[in-house]
A and B are shown apart, each in its own frame.
Chain A
Amino acid sequence: MSILQNGFPSLEEIRAANGWPSEERFAKGPVAIAECVQEIPCNPCEAACPMHAIQVGNPITNNPHINESLCTGCGMCVAACSGLAIFVVDKSYSDTLGKVSFPFEYLPLPEKGDEVDALDRSGSFVCKGVVTRVLNPARNDHTPVVTIEIPKEHVDEVRTIRRLNAAEPAVFTPVPDAEYIDDDVIVCRCEEVTAGQVRKAVREYAGESVTSIKRRVRCGMGLCQGKTCGKLVTRIIQEETGKKASEIPPATDRPPVRPVTFGALATAGKGEDDNG
């Protein structure tokens, strides 16, 4: 079973993609483990490591590899990983207990001494654990790193804890239509354009249509081609200019309808290689 079927990586996938520290290395003290198995263009971990123990290299879609002899288990990479896919494991902590450090971006944060539910990669309960440290300095950029102690036999499995706020809504709730979108809310996810940037394009840069806003701040220029942000941008233009939605022209649709590889485009309709 793979990450594509389960939504989380198996130990085999992690070993194949990133490697795994040796037992000798585990015996020496805390060590970082990358569990980053998909080939995505991302490499902040490489720069975050003060020991230069992490390598992504070229192309940037390589999976990271951690050199176990250089790694000191300092944990700088844990907060730097935007995919929340790096952990520090300490099997040398005591004869019976081990420690796992992981990124934890949910409020409220646990406190040192709290007893918590330790969960595996799938989110299933494994055992009870005790919080030994919560690090959240400014350099972590809002990614707190939590360390827990748990029975040693579970340190290869446990990767997070159950959220402390049990009252989370079960499903995503869209913003109701009438609600004002705050300036710092991202309306174009592909290009990470905020509502504030869209408003500025209307107020200061004479943007009056979805296309004119796109040209000024790039919303709608990404992978989804404005399928997600188009309506939100229309709404913001409406609020800013007092026009009706029907008076605001939508962005021009351009081919292809869905992203398609250059290879498929070049060969489509031209013989045996054509898969439709």
Chain B
Amino acid sequence: MADWTVDVAVIGAGVIGAATTYFNAKAGASVALIDSGDLAEGTSSKSDGNILVCDKLPGFDCLFAKASQDMFEQLSHELEYPIEWRQKGSLFLMETDEEMEIAKKFCDEMVACGIPMRMMDHKEIKEDEPLLADDLPGGLETACDGSLYPMGLCFGLAFQARKLGAQLLLHRTVTSIDKQDGGFVVHTTNGDIAAKNVVDCAGVWAPVIGRMVGLDIPIQARQGQILVSEQTFQVGRRKVHEFGYLMAKFQTDGYKRPVSEAIERNGVAFVFEPTASNNFLIGSSRRFAGEDISSDIEVMQAIAERAIRFFPIIADIKVIRAYTGVRPFTPDHMPIVSATPVPGFYIAAGHEGDGIGLSPITGKMIADMIAGNELMMDISPLRYSRFTEKAAQ
């Protein structure tokens, strides 16, 4: 006999699992959210709080992100836990004339997709952010971008789901999953859950859960590090990052930034995010280092060096904390939000660095799939089978 019987068992209590739980509970399903640790204990607590469309590719990628971003205003009213949602836009900075060229083309393509983006010249970016370095040729503004408190979002979604009747089954590790007539039994170190549907929201650890039902999920850990400043005066008023970030994210060939070897080797790109608590976060880095989440001094130094390049005044401000997490990376940089060959088993994972921003639409899509509703957009690019199709070719 199972200890709990539910319509939907969600495995993984990060932001994707919390959103999946919330939207399923909102749709009237009985839901259990299961995790080996606390809410937001893995990647979701090592993140920043950016809700961006500016760093997506033109086409499906940016439209999916925009649809998710458009859900936050309502969520910020719906969730009782404060998520600190602010929509001030974002600013990409270009460092060279070559980057200006690439950005101009990118901007045109994004505008054609309906994204509110515009190029800014040197004078405009200095008026926008007076403390920027003096030698930057220009910027690219995305008016709809915003940020929030990422852990607050996880708590908000999970505790609101609890109000709707969802069970938060934390601090119990899933050990195996049995298929049975009409669903599954999820065995944990502290009780069994019978569920008609199971959603694998375990992020970096999604492959471990997938193997329990015989699925091979191609997600690996891509490490990122962040530095936190002391509480200080306003260095920048909103999210500011370098356009080279896009190139680091997508590993674009053909253009090399004028940067040091340590910056290049560790995929370091400047990202600045002011928080609601008057400090700021400085990122970012991307490298494959297994599941190691200790902060590496070479990466920390490279991140600091890169930040000072864009905001020289940062040199005199103190770092109070460094933290490191692992992003769930897929080979084509797109998440998996999908049914699978195992009926009733769904995957919502692999969002790399975009899980916080993409969580609402991911949760909503999975809830609609389970309820048999029509989806609000075609998400076939996110299907699980795209990897097996490739392998079969």
A205 at the binding interface (Cβ < 8 Å): yes
Q: Scoring B residues 310 to 353 as 1 if CB is less than 8 Å from chain A, else 0, what string do you get? A: 00001111111111000000000000000000000000000000
Residue among A41, A204, A223, A265 having the largest count of chain B Cβ atoms under 10 Å: A265
Complex contact A265–B301 (CB within 8 A): yes
Asked if residues B301 and A268 are in contact (CB atoms below 8 Å), the reply is yes
B40 touches A262 (CB 8 A): no
Pick from A77-85, A100-108, A123-131, A253-261 the stretch touching chain B. Answer: A253-261
CA distance A266 to B234 in the complex (A): 21
> Is there a chain A Cβ closer than 8 Å to B38's Cβ?
yes
Expressed in whole angstroms, the Cα–Cα distance for A58 and B233 within the complex equals 9
A63 to chain B, nearest CB (A): 14
- Chain A binder among B224-232, B246-254, B366-374: B224-232
When each residue 15-57 of chain A gets 1 if its CB lies under 8 Å from chain B and 0 otherwise, what string results? Answer: 0000000000000000000000000010000000000000000
How far, in whole Å, are A225 and B230 apart by their CA atoms in the complex?
10
| B-facing residues in A237-265 (Cβ within 8 Å) | 254-256, 259-263, 265
**Residues B171 and A59 in contact, CB atoms below 8 Å apart:** no
B349 CB to closest chain A CB (Å) equals 21
Q: Within B201-231, which residues are at the interface with A (CB < 8 Å)?
A: 227, 229-231
| Secondary structure call for the A interface | loop
Residue in B171, B230, B234, B307 whose CB lies within 8 Å of A259: B230
Quick check: is A164 within 8 A (CB to CB) of the other chain?
no
A206 in the interface, Cβ–Cβ < 8 Å? Answer: yes
Contact A254 B308 (CB under 8 A): no
Question: Quick one: which of A205, A216, A254, A266 contacts B323, CB cutoff 8 A?
Answer: A254
CA–CA, A207 and B171, complex, Å: 11
Chain A residue total in the interface (Cβ 8 A): 33
CB atoms of B304 and A208 under 8 A apart: no
- Which residues of B are found within 8 Å of A225, using beta-carbon distances? 320-321
Identify the closest chain B residue to A62 (Cβ).
Answer: B233
- Residue A215 lies at the interface, judged by CB distance under 8 Å to chain B: yes
Given contacts A209-B38, A225-B321, A254-B321, contact A265 B233 (CB under 8 A): no
A260–B322 CA distance with the chains assembled, in angstroms = 11
Smallest CB–CB gap between A179 and chain B, Å?
Answer: 29
Minimum Cβ distance to chain B for residue A43 (Å): 10
Sample of 9 more A-B contacts, CB < 8 Å, known A41-B231, A255-B300, A265-B227: A58-B233, A206-B170, A215-B45, A216-B155, A223-B231, A254-B295, A255-B321, A259-B230, A263-B316
Which B residues have a C-beta under 8 Å from some C-beta of A? 38-41, 45, 81, 151, 155, 159, 168, 170-171, 227, 229-234, 277, 282, 295, 297, 300-301, 304-305, 307-308, 314-323
